[in-house]
Amino acid sequence: MTDLFSPLRLGAIELANRVVMSPLTRCRAGTGNVPTDLMAEYYRQRASAGLIITEATPVCPEGHGYPRTPGIYTAEQISGWKKITQAVHAAGGRIVIQLWHVGRISHPDLQPNGVLPVAPSALRPAGQVFTGQEMKDFVTPRALESSEIPGLIASYAQAARNAMAAGFDGVEVHAGNGYLLDQFLRSSSNQRTDAYGGSKENRARLLLEVLDGVCAAIGSERVGVRLSPVTPFNDLHDEHPQETFEYVTAQLNRFSLAFLDLLQGMGGAPKEQWIPFDYERLRVLYTGKLIRNNGYDFASAQEAITTGAADAIAFGRLLLANPDLVERFRRGAPLNAPDYEKLYTGEEKGYTDYPFLAG
């Protein structure tokens, strides 16, 4: 019987089991947004998961929206990531990098030369951003010019090439969680009147063109994508999410991607508060391998795998606090609780100091 411990092939990537580490922003990068040796230890500790998807990683300097997030656009960053991929591979793991551009979820204090962040439309999101020194209100972004879009797509493609140079097994294009590609997808943030706005087909155009570029750069068998159809994170919503994301999901089939990473629900909100959405419909529409994400424990993950509802399950908080989560699942062992106060600060505290099982 296929279960959570069964091997799995995602495109060109062979997994020892179906436990996936969900992307988790941790803000531990060094000067120049270069990955550090501490980060290498963090990921090495979790290499028993079938696949690690790294923290979201900006594809260009303009893609940053938080302090100390590692990039994948300079030679120093590539070298830093190479230490991480080597550590994970030496421990028997597989690792892909999540390619990121935050769009309007930034601030001039985090942008090169203090410029405005870009977005599909000049609409200021509600909320605040941590600039590294203090919390500040989001600003009204600058609408991305259509003439700039080919350069943006090229940044994603080059980041994918850089990821291969750093030794990654593949990449995940981040098109969820209210960041730039998701901002283009959703009607609340995309009020463009050109070929990239209006209809669901137009709003999906940028994501599909980015995937064209990334797949051409490194091969579709090493490319995944994340979607989060109804998460309101970063002040987003869509007037017709079922229609929008059924269209997007169906369009993904032409790429023969390694996987689709589907973030269900609304972040940490209880399931009874989730916006209604038919995720099973996406499972029917998508012909490739599906990773489901958010709110799973061992029992519900096993059920999803054994019933065929998913091919793999991604865990965030559980793998953050339990680097040996796969072994704890095997033994039915107790789980460590996350230290939420140290999510984004504390260096090794709440990062590499979670205890492993004895023996």
**How does pLDDT run across 185-231, given as a tens digit for each residue?**
999 999 999 999 999 999 999 999 999 999 999 999 999 999 999 99
Q: Which CATH architecture has domain 8-342?
A: Alpha-Beta Barrel (3.20)
Tokens at 59, concatenated: 């594809």
53-58: average pLDDT? 98
Q: How many CB atoms lie within 10 A of CB 334?
A: 9
Tell me if 315 sits within 8 A of 22, measured CB to CB. Answer: yes
Q: Are 157 and 72 in contact (CB under 8 A)?
A: no
- In the predicted model, what is the mean pLDDT of residues 152-171? 98
Alpha-carbon distance 328 to 24, whole Å? 20
The model's confidence at residue 325, banded by pLDDT at 50, 70 and 90, is very high
Compute the residue count for the chain.
359
Instruction: Encode the chain in three state secondary structure.
Output: CCCCCCCEEECCEEECCCEEECCCCCCCCCHHHCCCHHHHHHHHHCCCCCEEEEEEEECCHHHCCCCCCCCCCCHHHHHHHHHHHHHHHHCCCCEEEEEECCCCCCCHHHCHHHCCCEECCCCCCCCEEECCCCEEECCCCEECCHHHHHHHHHHHHHHHHHHHHCCCCEEEEECCCCCHHHHHHCCCCCCCCCCCCCCHHHHCHHHHHHHHHHHHHHCHHHEEEEECCCCCCCCCCCCCHHHHHHHHHHHHHHHCCCEEEEECCCCCCCHHHCCCCCHHHHHHHCCCCEEEECCCCHHHHHHHHHCCCCCEEEECHHHHHCCCHHHHHHHCCCCCCCCHHHCCCCCCCCCCCCCCCCC
**Rounded-to-10 torsion of CA 299, 300, 304, 307:** 60
Is the pLDDT at 268 greater than 70, yes or no?
no
**Average model confidence (pLDDT) for the chain?**
96
pLDDT in tens, 119-128: 999 999 999 9
In this prediction, residue 275 has a pLDDT band, given cuts at 50, 70 and 90, of confident
Active site residue 179: yes
Would the pLDDT of 289 be above 90? yes
Q: Is the pLDDT of residue 155 over 90?
A: yes
Q: What is the pTM of this model?
A: 0.97
User: What pLDDT is attached to residue 1?
Assistant: 85
- Residue 267 φ/ψ region, left for φ over 0, alpha for ψ in the -120 to 50 degree band, beta for the rest: left
Which two tokens mark 38?
Answer: 């501490």
Read off the pLDDT of residues 241-253 as tens digits, 9 standing for 90 and up.
999 999 999 999 9
| Residue % of the chain over a pLDDT of 90 | 94
Which of 42, 156, 179, 296 does the annotation list as catalytic?
179
Q: What is the pLDDT of residue 71?
A: 98
Listed by start position, the domains of the chain span: 8-342
Per residue in 73-114, pLDDT (tens digit) is: 999 999 999 999 999 999 999 999 999 999 999 999 999 999
Least confident among 235-239, 307-311, 318-322, 327-331 = 235-239
Crossing angle of the two packed helices 75-90 and 149-165, in degrees rounded to 10:
40
Q: Phi-psi bin for 66: left (phi > 0), alpha (psi -120 to 50), beta?
A: beta
Percent over 70 (pLDDT), the chain: 99
